[in-house]
Chain A
Amino acid sequence: MRREWPKSARAYAETVSDVLGSLGGVEAARRAEVEPTHRAETVRPRLDAIGALALDPWGDEEESAAAALAVREAGRVVLPWPLVHVLAVPPSARADCGGVHLVLGECTALDHADVLPDAIAVDLRDQRVFSVTVERRRQAPLDPFGCEVRLVDTGLGPPVTDASAMHLLLDAFWVGGALAGAADLALRHARERRQFGVPIGRFGEIRWRIADLVLARDSLDELARYTWWLLRVGRAGPADLLALRLQMLESARTVLANAHQILGAMGLCEEHDLAVIDRHLQPTLRRPVGRLGTTTLLADRIRRDGFDALFPVPPSPIRPGC
């Protein structure tokens, strides 16, 4: 596995970053929350203009990497557009399907469902496919673009096995970006905020938090990069993708908790980007399932498929019926 991202992909990520910067960065998320039409009227056209919505994450190495890194940049500012849902639809199916949601069992609400035409939902456990009908928007602090939905089982739909794997992969890049953003805010604050006459970054307790935060951030980055490569070479099984989701959720927990603690009261204010990143990231962290549920899914999968390692775990390590 080569660690360096292709140069063209890094350059594209910079373009994406510039465009998101011109939208105000995290400010776009704040604005869309009070003005939901901002998403379709302003955010979407900007993404369209740079071809971000047409990227093929299954494409050649450069394009696939560009898609992953573009998602990461979007996650960094918790962009108010469901880029992952759009890119996780295989290009051949995009004419018929505007986006894919991941669900697990019964589901009554999905984020951004109101802006995705002809979206489908895929059940993570059994890959059943549902059509999605929006009933009404259901805004909440931790679900800023939530919509109440009705799902109807359509039997077989477009080719979606690939879609759920890609969704899980891209979610990790999205969250990786958001956590990198949160980490940067915490580090800047630790350098600048002074108490007792010194920057708080001088205190051992704060340094301890910084180390844990950086480790969690980098753990997700490395696993996401590796899983991206596994998927490209056709070796990413469901257990690998669920393992990535589990790491993503653990990293998010560690980074967000430590970043908040470092920022003190300031980080809780809506004016501060950390509060917005935290709130807007929650739908990705809880849908289709959070840390505990993901752990159970992963345990089931490893029981069935085993887990690749230096000493690979054979299938059925955890005995059936438990």
Chain B
Amino acid sequence: MLRIRLRALLAEELPPDWVAPFSLAPDVRAVVARVCRRLADEGLLTLSWPVEYGGGGADLWQQTVLREEMWAHFEPRGPQYMGLNWVGPVLMEVGTAEQRARHLPGISSGTAVWCQGFSEPEAGTDLGSLKLAARRDGEAWVLDGQKIWTSYAGLAQWCFLAARTSRTENKHDGITIFLVPMDSPGITVVPIDSMMGEQHLNEVFFDSVRVGDEAVLGEVGRGWDVMGLVLKHERIGIPRYARDDRVLCELAGHEGLDEPAAAAEYVRALVHTRVARLLSYRAVALSEAGRLTQQVASLARLASIQLDQEVAELAADVCGAEGLAPDPGRGLLGHVEDVLRYSRSATIASGTIEVQRLVVARAALEGADRAS
């Protein structure tokens, strides 16, 4: 069974207290590289990709198991998951033959790191108002402007960049996607110190960065549609419940649960974890049947992101003041402080909880929410 195979592989490859893949530290980079190589050798890195692109052609359920196990084990593929989960698949859908030939091998071998350049200082939830300009200059495009919150920008070789190629009345028109080498002259990455740790957030400045037509993904001016494809691949969201499940399992037997109030919260969290998993499975099942709706996906996310914060709070509470500092000798429970810090972003990253709620409510009001 895939899950058992993945767990055995990860048990062999990961250090016992592995929690933080997003780092420039050489030992961390070495673990990520080793895990990616091993997964690639066993055909597991591109398990979800179609066979024609050298993938395993796995069905959605196998892909779900892979994502669950990777997330539960603190994403040992590091930033590679983005390339595998959506950059590659979007390239397959809208990339030219040259673009596919150039980029897919690096992604499928787990060697190329990508970052996503969407958010800007003035364009957060209102992504359509992004301003970073791409101007035509002879045969080239010239990029000027700033991105922000760009995860792994300091590690990445490539940026999946959304830029404005024209100003139109409808702000969603006039956006174009560029595949930009991060070592291009004029790109400056400035890490942002954040409570989640290094590499999670960066600013990326573009100062007269020149790229050719080969960097344009999809049609000029149709970038919003391409961003829609990205969201389609990320719609169900990260299977956060899998890591929460693992945290709860590790907490079992902790003396902090002797307190009846803690025991009560603990069993509630177990039930909520099961429910979050089932709501995600509903989304997977409907996706498989070609009937996934926006609200079913958002409901799965709503359950999952709230669960992340519930479990992190509970774990931190149960571990008490002892848990405030990392303790590598105590396995996962020695890292509840990391779990708590990271959980703060669950309701913000890739679409805030408010937006998820609005999506659900709008669909419910339109009477479209009982499609399942």
The chain A residues found within 8 Å of chain B, CB to CB, are 3, 187, 190-191, 201, 204, 206-208, 210-212, 214-215, 218-219, 222-223, 226, 243, 246-247, 250, 292, 295-296, 298-299, 302, 307, 309-314, 316-319, 321-322
Contacts and interface: CB of A to CB of B under 8 A. Distances in A.
A207 B281 CA distance: 25
By secondary structure, the A interface counts as helix
Contact of A207 (B72, B362, B367, B369): B362
B303 A219 contact: yes
Contacts of A246: 267-268, 271
Contacts of A298: 267, 271
Interface string B270-292: 11011101110110010000000
* 6 A-B pairs with the lowest CB-CB distances in the bound complex, closest first: A317-B252, A207-B361, A211-B357, A311-B249, A222-B278, A210-B361
Contact of A302 (B242, B270, B356, B367): B270
B372 to A, nearest CB: 8
B302 interface: yes
A302 to B, nearest CB: 6
Interface stretch (B200-208, B254-262, B323-331): B254-262
Nearest to A240: B274
Nearest to B252: A317
A104 B259 CA distance: 23
The residue in B257, B260, B274, B367 that gathers the most chain A C-beta atoms within 10 A of its C-beta is: B274
B257 A309 contact: no
Given A207-B357, A211-B357, A223-B274, A299 B246 contact: no
B275 A318 contact: no
A219 B278 CA distance: 8
B160 interface: no
A190 to B, nearest CB: 6
Contacts of B358: 204, 207, 211
Contacts of A214: 295, 299, 360-361, 364, 369
A219 B275 CA distance: 6
B356 A317 contact: no
Interface of B: 68, 72, 241-242, 245-246, 248-253, 255, 257-260, 263-264, 266-268, 270-271, 273-275, 277-279, 281-282, 285, 295, 299, 302-303, 354, 356-358, 360-362, 364-365, 367, 369
A211 B270 contact: no
Contacts of A295: 264, 267-268
A309 B274 contact: yes
Contacts of B258: 318-319, 321-322
B285 A223 contact: no
A85 B270 CA distance: 28
B361 A243 contact: no
A310 B245 contact: yes
A313 B248 contact: yes
A88 B261 CA distance: 33
Given A206-B361, A211-B361, A222-B279, 11 more contacts: A204-B358, A211-B356, A214-B369, A243-B271, A243-B274, A246-B271, A247-B271, A309-B248, A311-B246, A314-B252, A322-B258
Nearest to B250: A311
A125 B359 CA distance: 42
Contacts, number: 133
Contact of A316 (B253, B259, B271, B360): B253
B365 A222 contact: no
A319 B257 contact: yes
A309 B302 contact: no
Given A215-B303, A223-B278, A299 B266 contact: yes
A309 B267 CA distance: 12
Contacts of B362: 207
A226 B361 CA distance: 25
A223 B273 CA distance: 11
A322 B357 contact: no
29 contacts: A3-B282, A3-B285, A201-B365, A208-B357, A210-B360, A211-B357, A214-B295, A214-B299, A214-B360, A214-B369, A215-B302, A218-B282, A218-B299, A219-B275, A223-B275, A246-B271, A296-B260, A309-B274, A311-B246, A311-B248, A316-B253, A317-B251, A317-B252, A318-B258, A318-B266, A319-B255, A319-B258, A321-B258, A322-B257
A51 B321 CA distance: 60
A67 B267 CA distance: 29
A296 B262 CA distance: 11
A314 B248 CA distance: 11
A300 to B, nearest CB: 9
B253 A311 contact: no
Nearest to B286: A3
Contacts of A309: 245, 248-249, 270, 273-274
B275 A311 contact: no
B309 to A, nearest CB: 15
Nearest to A202: B365
A42 B266 CA distance: 46
Contact of B270 (A190, A191, A307, A321): A307
Contacts of A321: 258
A1 B20 CA distance: 34
Contacts of B257: 317-319, 322
A194 B273 CA distance: 38
Given A190-B365, A214-B369, A311-B72, A243 B357 contact: no
Contact of A319 (B72, B253, B285): B253
Contacts of B369: 214
B354 to A, nearest CB: 8
Given A299-B264, A299-B267, A310 B246 contact: yes
A187 B370 CA distance: 12
B299 A310 contact: no
A322 B271 contact: no
Contacts of A206: 361
The residue in B260, B360, B364 that gathers the most chain A C-beta atoms within 10 A of its C-beta is: B364
A247 B268 CA distance: 8
Nearest to A1: B281
Given A208-B361, A319-B255, A243 B303 contact: no
B282 A211 contact: no
Nearest to A206: B361
Contacts of B253: 314, 316-319
